[in-house]
Structure 1
């Protein structure tokens, strides 16, 4: 199956647990990978004004990827979605930070673009509201149905 890994916001700003970084690195070394990095620009997304908080203005992905796209706010950039579409993959495996917000937003963008988003449930963490990510996993299953685990992906890769 032609597939790509989308790594959502695994960056210092969000203090990802080491197990997540290690797990995503191990998987990204075995398949094509694209990463997003969320940066703050108040003129684009008013985090400070509306939430009294904002991500860093400069940061980088903690996981190497074939392509890295900068985004501002929750959703993926149009450039990232266009790049993923051009790859002609059968599915996009999604992992990363904030299962119920940024990861879920990636799922909606992928779905709306006609791509097949599949969440890797054991390579995601939720926001401070639900660090387990279970709320986001449940929302993902409700909206997109497709979920898998790191072990299942590795078994498929052979």
Structure 2
């Protein structure tokens, strides 16, 4: 199966737990990977005006990726969606920070683009509302159904015939 790993906003601004960074580094070493980094530009997304906080204006992905996309706001930009379409992938494995917000927003954009979003449930952390990510995982299962774990992905990749 042609697939790619999408790592959502695993960057210093959001202080990801070390176990997540380590797990994503292991997973990304075995599969084509793209990442998003959320940066602040009040002219594009008025975080400060509406929420009283904002991400950093400069940051970078903590996970090495084949391609990194900058975004301003919750969801991925059109450039990322077009890039994924161009790869001809059958499935996008989604991981990262804020399962119930930014990760879920990526799921909706991928779903709408016909890119079969599949959440890697053990490689995601929820927002401050639910750090366990249980709420985000439940929302994901309700809307998209497709979930997996990093162990399942690595086992699939180890099968003969998989690149």
State the Cα deviation string for residues 80-127 of structure 1 (Å, max 9, x = none).
110011100110000000000000000000000111000000000001
Corresponding residue number in structure 1 for 2:82: 82
Q: Tell me, which stretches of 5 or more residues in structure 1 are unaligned?
A: none
TM-score after normalising by structure 2: 0.96
Distance 2:17 2:30 in 1: 21
Equivalent residue of 1:94, what SS?
Answer: strand
Corresponding residue number in structure 2 for 1:39: 39
> Is 1:129 equivalent to 2:129 in the alignment?
yes
Corresponding residue number in structure 1 for 2:10: 10
Corresponding residue number in structure 2 for 1:19: 19
State the Cα distance separating 1:149 from its structure 2 match: 0.3
State the Cα distance separating 1:50 from its structure 2 match: 0.3
Matched pairs, number? 158
Corresponding residue number in structure 1 for 2:151: 151
State the Cα deviation string for residues 59-98 of structure 1 (Å, max 9, x = none).
0000000000000000001101100111001100000000
Q: Tell me, which stretches of 5 or more residues in structure 2 are unaligned?
A: 159-163
Distance 1:80 1:93 in 2: 14
Equivalent residue of 2:43, what SS?
Answer: coil
TM-score after normalising by structure 1: 0.99
Root-mean-square deviation (Å): 0.3
